[in-house]
Amino acid sequence: MRVIMLIDMDYFFVACEEIKRPELKQKPTIVGADPKEGKGRGVVMTCNYAARKFGIHSAMPISQAYKIKPDAEYLPMDYSYYESKSNEVFSIIKTFAEKVEQVSIDEFFIDLSVTLSEASDALEYAKRIKEAIATRAKLPCSIGISENKLIAKMACEKAKPSGIKLVRGADAKSFIAKMKLGELYGIGSKTEERLNALGYTTAEELAKASIMSLMENFGSFGIELHNIANAIDESEVVEAGDAKSISREQTFESDTSNPAEISSSIRRLASELGTELESKKISFKTIGIKLRYSDFSESLHGRTIRQTNQPGQIAETALSLFKENSEGRRKIRKLGVRVSGLTSYRSQKSLF
């Protein structure tokens, strides 16, 4: 039997800001896009509970948040600061567990099956982790505990804010039974819609569906759906490897088909990427662009060249990809430039 925990930082970005400015705790505070007096195009990345009281939440359009609470504190992202706090949390967790799987900047899975023998020990252990993070990193978190990652994740959702929740293996199925399908980790809005159309609304209902019928509709993903609904998840906690791709994106202030504006945006994103790759000593092989149009549909175009660490290649390739694929002159809302096929050349003399 396994003991898996998910440690999820509470309202992470704003919690980081509150360390520098404790007075923000009392004030509705939002980290995200510039609201621009209600005209901003971005979203709320995170907000504290003082802001949530008013119905503001993550991923809400910043313009909508501004309408609700124009006098809230609006802060821009300070990504490198959050990253350093995240690293701090990682090191603290690392003192409690051999293997730490970092899922995102503010989420960590650990497997304590070897360390702990009793589920009840897990609660005590989680408390110690939570306290260590609170005293050493000055940050709040919530912890979900179960026998697999899926249920640990769901347990953590219920533990928020700042709680710990243990769901024993025997209770896992009933724990998720009444949940809507979209609330389950791994089922998003598209799949939920399709499942609803097939007559399944809750985990309990989906759990009764035959694997065969799910496979008819979803192919091999049907097996995955069956497992999720039945609280089954055999996946291991694995330490994350190096990044597989790095990208930079930008949403235009207003949708554009102006080639000069688009080219200069490509150049800027490419140069930012180049700087990051050089500082991290990473070479790349594939360059891609992503275009989001006014109707939110997207297209991707990529080209693989020989492995290189020449940042100039990014802009050059991205610009020609755009030229080759900009037929129709559709208006573009968002533009992204990405490199993949990454290799570290820290230890190599040179690629050339």
Site residues (CB under 7 A) for DNA? 33, 40-43, 45, 59, 61, 63-64, 103-107, 153, 184-192, 219-221, 243-251, 285-286, 288, 296-304, 325, 333-334, 336, 338, 341
The nearer residue to DNA, 64 or 257, going by C-beta atoms, is 64
The nearer residue to DNA, 28 or 32, going by C-beta atoms, is 32
Angle at 49 between CA 183 and CA 146, to 5 degrees: 40
Name the minimum Å distance from CB 65 to DNA: 11
Q: In terms of residues, how long is the chain? A: 352
**Active-site amino acid positions:** 107
- Residue 297 CB contacts under 8 Å (≥ 6 apart), including other chains: none
Report which of 22, 8, 7, 6 is spatially closest to residue 138, judged by C-alpha positions.
22
The nearer residue to DNA, 35 or 116, going by C-beta atoms, is 35
Name the minimum Å distance from CB 113 to DNA: 22
The nearer residue to DNA, 23 or 241, going by C-beta atoms, is 241
The C-alpha R_g of the chain, in whole angstroms, comes to 23
Helices 221-229 and 211-218 sit at what angle, rounded to 10 degrees?
130
Name the minimum Å distance from CB 217 to DNA: 13
The nearer residue to DNA, 8 or 111, going by C-beta atoms, is 8
CA distances from 226 to 173, 177, 201, 230 (A): 12, 13, 14, 6
Query: How many angstroms separate the most distant Cα atoms in the chain?
Result: 64
Report which of 149, 40, 41, 150 is spatially closest to residue 99, judged by C-alpha positions.
149
Name the minimum Å distance from CB 250 to DNA: 5
Alpha-carbon 351 to chain mean position:
33
Name the minimum Å distance from CB 352 to DNA: 18
